[in-house]
Every structure is written in C-alpha cells, then in structure tokens.
Structure 1
Amino acid sequence: MEDIQSFRVMGILSRARTLESQGRTIIHMEIGEPEFPTPEPVVTAAIEALRAGETHYTPALGLPDLREAIAAYYRQRDGIEVDPQRIIITPGSSGALLLALGVLIDPGERVLMSDPGYPCNRHFVRLLEGVAAGIAVGAETEYQLNAELIEGHWRERTRAVMLASPANPTGAVIPEHKLREIVYTVERLGGALIMDEIYLDLVYGQRPRSVLALSDAVFVVNSFSKFFNMTGWRIGWLVAPEDFVSPVDRLAQNIFLAASTPAQHAALKAFGKGTLGILEQHRQALQQRRDYLLPALRDIGFTVEAHPAGAFYIYAGCDRFTQDSQAFCRDLLEQAGVAI
C-alpha cells in the first residue's frame, strides 16, 4: 500500500465541500464528472426495476439484454459487429480496468502508459504486482503514445499497453491511422492493448470509431459515467477478446460477483432515442464551454499545448504564475473559490 497514492482530486473536492459547508461559494472544475443529471428515462427505469423486485444478483457477465443493447450500440454508431458474449458489465470503468489487468498481468510484468495520464492506472498495475512503466509524452505527440514510442520502450516482460482516446487529462484524440499503427505494433510485439474509450462519445467534431473496428484482439473499457451522466450509478463495461471471456468471468465472480442489478436495468434505457437526444444536447453544451474557455485561458496567460478535441478537460500550463502547480490549485481554491 505504500506505493498506492491518494487520488489528489478527491482531496481538493473534500476541501471544497468543507468551504461550502462554511458558507463559501465554490466553482467546481476539479473532478471529471458532468454536472448534468442522469436523464429521466434512465432514472424511471431504475425505479421501475426496484419496484418490480429486480434486486438480486445477475450473472457475473451482466444482464444478457444489456450486453445485447451495447452490441447494438456499436452496430449503430460504428457499423461494427461485436459479439455480445464478449461484453462484460462491470461496476464502472474501474471494474473493467481491474478485470482486464487481472487476466493479463503476472507479478513483475510491465504495462506501458503515457505520463501524464489517468493517475489510477499505475495503481491498478501496482495492485497486481505489475510494473507501471510511464512514458513521458509531450506536445509533439499531442500528449499521446504512438507506435514509435511503444516500440522504443518495449522491454523483456512487457505485457500490455494502456491507452485512452480521448485522453484524461488532455482531451486529445488519437487519429485512426495512428491508432491502427499502434494496434499493429502491439500485436506484432506479442502484447495486449487496453483501450479506454469512456469519452469516445464526447468528441467535438467527427466522432472516431471504436478501436474494435480495427481489431478483435484488444480490450476495450467503457462506462455509463461520462457521456451518459451516470457517474454515481457505478456501471460500465469491458469488451474482451474471445479467449479471455471465460477468465474474466471467473475473476468477476470472485471480485464483485456482478454489477448492481438496478443500475443495469437503468442502463438499458441509456440507448433509447429520447435519452440519446438529451445526451447530444449535453455534448453540445460542453463543446460551447470548451470553445469559450480555451481562448479565455490563453488570454490570461495559461498555455494549452494539447488540443482538447474530446472529453471535458483542458491540460493548461500555469508556468507564468507558479512553479508549484499543487500549491497553485490550493491557493486558487482558498483565495478565489475555484476548485481545479
């Protein structure tokens, strides 16, 4: 546990809540969560499921109807066929990441990931006694890994590569031709690719296709949290290669048995036409905010080197103001009431 650090954003959030309890007004920009409520059809479906007594365990892989609905969503959005048997319903994307890494990583094996990147990834790897190998990325690659970087950092006992597109914390999107090069490189080197696509529907421009359009050998992590505005419901999914479905099933049975039954029934309504219309309005609102905030931040002295083509993050440099970003965040909260 000495290597498992706290999630710093939760400390900022906790302090912000304390200040609010003291009467302060706080602008919340610290946590990766949409402010929009869960769409009403989803809420109604959960209530109806509870009243109907849908409170018992589902199969460890999830409700068959929900797995079918997700497969239909891939067919509708990306024009690809994904076998529902490869789709595993999980307690949020964190559950999906844990399952993917759990069936892949043996003690001492390396997992390549970008630095900066989602901070919890390295802790998942460490929990499984793997080695999280962060690769420094910068503006020249839009703060993303590419095939050249992956091959250059491949070592003995490298087992997997973790990617996210759009990425946290930059919002940068990997173009499909570069993603194809990555898929080819990882497969040629004998590794596994774990792709985080939880922000894939929050792209401001032409929506890229899932990496599943390029290969059936990848692990894809997704969630109902971000685009579907269901963060607190803790419901996500994993698409696993066919040969790994049975190991994932066994591991899920031993870790969490199954995802929340009411949340699974609620998620079935997330793909309805009315719900998707509401969510598209939310996506457009986020795009308007990005389009306003990006030039405004630059005007007051922040630097933004990675274009936030998706998600709801801007990776802004504060060098003009400070050489201690953590202290800057604390001061901004305490003095200006802005949590970042």
Structure 2
Amino acid sequence: MVSDRADETTPFLAMEVFRRASERADAVHLEVGEPDFEPPGYVVDAAVDALRRGDTGYTAAAGKLGLREAIADYYDRTYGVDVSPERILVTPGSSPGLLLACLATLDPGDEAVLTDPHYACYPNFVRQTGATVRTVELDATEGFALRPDRFAAALERDPEVLLLNSPANPTGAVMDGDTLREVVELAETRGTTVVADEIYHGLDYDVEARSVLEFTDEAFVTDGFSKRYAMTGWRLGWVVVPESYADVVNRLVQNLFICAPSFVQEAGRVALEREDDHLDRVRETYRERRDLLVDAVADWGHGLDLGYTPGGAYYLLVDVSELGDAFDVADRLLDEAGVATTPGVDFGPAAADYLRLSYATSMDRLREADRRISVWLADV
C-alpha cells in the first residue's frame, strides 16, 4: 500500500511540461529554471583533475573541510557574517538541504508557513515530515513583495517554521534588508524557526539580496552552485544550520545521503575560491534577458498582464486569465506555438491564473518565443 505521504506528493509540473516539450525538436523552453550557460572552465578542470587523481570515494557526511571553509569565506566577504564551517553541511544539491531543514524542525501535526506563490516543491518537503502547510498570499499589484504585515496573522498561531525565498521562484521578488530584518524579528518573537532558500542569491538586478544570516544565527539557510555557476546536473549545495542543530543534521545526512560526490566538492571549492567577473557577466546577461521579456509581455496585449518588474532570479509570472484557463493556455502555447511555459497553479492558488516564464535561455531563443507568441496571439 502506498503511504499517505507518498500519495500526497504532487508532481512538479515544470518537469512534466519539459518532458512533453522535449518531444518537439523546435520547442522554445521557457518552462524550466536551468541556466543555458556552461560552468566556468576552471570549475570543469577542477572536477576532471579530481577524477584523474582518484578523488572518487566517500567524504565526511558534512562535506570536505576545504569546501566548507570556502563557503564560510563566501559568507564573510559577501555579507560580512562569520559562519563557522562546523555549521555548514554540504548536500547533493540545495533541495536536500531544504528537506533536512524540514526534517530537523518539524514533527507530525506541526505547521510551516509559506508564501503563496511559492516554489512548487516546498509543500512536498513539509509533507514528508507529517507537518501541515499554511500560506500567506502575496499581492500581484505589489509585485508579489513580501510584506511583514502579511506574515503577522499567520505567525500568531506560533508555527514551527517560516520558509522564505528571496530572490523568489516563481515571482523574482527580492526582499530588501529592512523587510528581511523585520520578518526575522517577527518570527523570533513567536519562536518560529526561519528556513531561507537563497539559491538565487547573486542573481539580483535592482535590489541587493540580503542573507538571513545577517540578522540571525538561528536560521537554516540553503544555497548551492546550480544557478550562479550553471551546475544544475552536478548536484552540489549546502545548508547552514544553527549551532544547536549541527549534530542532528549531520546524523540525518549520514543516513539519508552519505555525502555529496567528492570530486564535485573539489569543483565547488574552486568555484568559490576563484575571484573573477563570472558572476558579473551572468547577472548582466540575465538583466538584459529580463528587460527583453518584460518589454515583450507589455507588447503582447490581449489582456496579458505583468504589472511588475522582477528584481531577481530569472522568472516572470504573467496573468493569462483573459485568455482562459492557464492549463489550457499553456497546452495551446506548446502545441500551437511551440513555446513551453509552466502553469502557475504549480506554485500555489494565488498563481493559478498565471504562467511562469523563465528567461534562463538565450536572447535569440527569447526573441523567437516573442515572435511565436505574437503570431499565436494574432490568431486567438
């Protein structure tokens, strides 16, 4: 018999759309958040060198000390915060870090608060613990900004966890420092543990993304190499934990994941230690792509509405309600125009009338998507 937790785990629609779109050789992929960049050459070289010298065995569950020290140095130079390597655990991707945070803080019957919209997989991480989800709806007219007053009512119930994501998937919203500080202080007054997904840090365009660790040592923070370094398939991330949780999370890693791949950890260390203009180039490229797609949506007409400019990550949420059901619109765009998008319902009820469009693809492909959608809309 299938367990209730497994049965209640919902599919990730973006990957379902990706599967369908991959059957079309001419599809323009705006559905998945996978960078089209290659990892820096020195990162690839570091992995190959590690393989050639036989660096293919187990590591400590927490990860190689050299990588954890490089991560600690990253927090020092980027945010001016002192994080002990003992609080850092390396994970095979950032998603395991989120699961570990949930397993370490939630019991059956507990409650975790998420924003709505939210990353599609968050509720499923919570469900694996037997806890329940409570959502705080964000306002599209405010650019899906995270406002402290919107969290106040939800936190009155003293939930165990508040899960934050900035820059956010699927909205691209970025919390400024004052807002993040206020939300963290609000959570701490209720005894609620903050879990922050910071995987899109570094991809911020108008407002500087601030780390939760600047405002508290008692939060869980996940991050990784997939987005900034285009290392999605390398599966390398980390979680920073409060000091009192380091031992228990280490035990969870030992049992659930053993460790992240050793040679990939070497590549991650080099990525963090090498100072160059890689991230600046990536950020500016995404800014140009964002601006192109924002302008394109404004020109499409037909009631399509964006209403805001995302400040980070590489997504837009576009209101397609005047064209019909978002599922149907996504199906027609793929079948009739060859453009793959993700129905917004994957990201919560507040996004049900929207499509998520990713601009993690080339300018040429974005222009082609714009052309195809414009032609398609002319016949609608």
Shorter-normalised TM range: over 0.9
Pairing 1:115-264 to 2, within 5 Å after superposition: 115-139=116-140, 141-154=142-155, 156=157, 158-264=159-265
Asked whether 1:2 is paired with 2:7, we answer yes
- Figure out how many residues of one structure are paired with residues of the other and give that number: 334
Secondary structure in 2 matching 1:95: helix
- Correspondence for 2:22: 17
Aligned CA-pair RMSD: 1.4
User: Which AA in structure 1 matches 2:121?
Assistant: C
- Say if 1:56 and 1:261, in contact at 8 Å, map to a contact too: yes
User: Which AA in structure 1 matches 2:306?
Assistant: V
- Correspondence for 2:350: none
Indicate which of 316, 319, 322 corresponds to 1:317: 319
- Say if 1:170 and 1:306, in contact at 8 Å, map to a contact too: no
Q: Deviations over 1:87-122 (max 9, x none)?
A: 111111111001111110000100000111101000
- Correspondence for 2:346: none
Q: Deviations over 1:204-227 (max 9, x none)?
A: 135333121111111111011001
Secondary structure in 1 matching 2:322: coil
Quote how far apart the aligned CAs of 1:272 are.
4.0
Q: Deviations over 1:290-319 (max 9, x none)?
A: 111102202212211343100000111112
Quote how far apart the aligned CAs of 1:141 are.
4.8
Pairing 1:41-80 to 2, within 5 Å after superposition: 41-80=42-81
Quote how far apart the aligned CAs of 1:138 are.
1.3
- Counting aligned pairs with the same residue, the percent is 39
TM normalised by structure 2 equals 0.85
Unaligned runs of 5+ in 2: 1-5, 342-380
For residues 68 and 13 of structure 2, the distance between their equivalents in structure 1, rounded to whole angstroms, comes to: 34
For residues 254 and 59 of structure 1, the distance between their equivalents in structure 2, rounded to whole angstroms, comes to: 12
- Correspondence for 1:294: 294
Unaligned runs of 5+ in 1: none
For residues 212 and 101 of structure 2, the distance between their equivalents in structure 1, rounded to whole angstroms, comes to: 16
TM normalised by structure 1 equals 0.95
Q: Deviations over 1:112-167 (max 9, x none)?
A: 00111101000111111110112222135532443322220235462010010010
For residues 133 and 308 of structure 2, the distance between their equivalents in structure 1, rounded to whole angstroms, comes to: 23
User: Which AA in structure 2 matches 1:335?
Assistant: E
User: Which AA in structure 2 matches 1:35?
Assistant: D
- Correspondence for 2:284: 284
| Shift in CA distance, 57/273, structure 1 to aligned 2, threshold 3 Å | closer
Runs of 4+ residues deviating >6 angstroms: none
For residues 68 and 255 of structure 2, the distance between their equivalents in structure 1, rounded to whole angstroms, comes to: 20
For residues 253 and 240 of structure 1, the distance between their equivalents in structure 2, rounded to whole angstroms, comes to: 16
For residues 279 and 207 of structure 1, the distance between their equivalents in structure 2, rounded to whole angstroms, comes to: 14
Asked whether 1:265 is paired with 2:266, we answer yes
Secondary structure in 2 matching 1:330: helix
User: Which AA in structure 2 matches 1:288?
Assistant: E
